[in-house]
């Protein structure tokens, strides 16, 4: 789930898009998802090359979106 959607709905997150944060925080998040980023070059590049991005990314999420970047997925109510 996109961190902004979780925050908007009252959930706490450890990740997100931040305009200003210590680089050490990004290193800590990287250690958490290092193995997951190794599975998918698109996810790795997105996390490592965009300074504003500090979010937990899964290989399944990238595949679900067909590698089209990170957007808030739309879910239909049943």
Strands 16-17 and 53-54: antiparallel
Each residue of 5-42: pLDDT tens digit? 777 788 877 766 666 778 888 888 889 989 988 988 87
Burial class of residue 29 (count of CB atoms within 10 Å of its CB; 0-12, 13-18, 19+): buried
CB atoms closer than 10 angstroms to residue 54: 21
Residues facing 14 on adjacent strands: none
Each residue of 39-58: pLDDT tens digit? 888 788 878 887 777 777 77
| Dist. CA 2–CA 24, nearest whole Å | 22
**Does residue 24 fall inside a structural domain?**
yes
Q: Under a CB-based contact definition with an 8 Å cutoff, are residues 5 and 72 in contact? A: yes
The pTM (predicted TM-score) of the whole model is 0.60
Q: Under a CB-based contact definition with an 8 Å cutoff, are residues 46 and 69 in contact? A: yes
**Does residue 77 fall inside a structural domain?**
no
What's the domain count of the chain?
1
| Dist. CA 34–CA 39, nearest whole Å | 9
**Does residue 73 fall inside a structural domain?**
no
Domain of residue 54 covers 3-7+20-64
């Amino acid at each position: 789930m996109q961190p902004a959607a979780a925050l908007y709905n009252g959930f706490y997150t450890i990740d997100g898009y931040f305009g200003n944060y210590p680089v050490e925080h990004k290193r800590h998040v990287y250690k958490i998802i290092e193995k997951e980023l190794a599975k998918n070059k698109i996810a790795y590049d997105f996390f490592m090359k965009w300074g504003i991005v500090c979010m937990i990314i899964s290989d399944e999420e990238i595949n679900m979106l067909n590698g089209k970047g990170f957007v808030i997925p739309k879910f239909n109510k049943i």
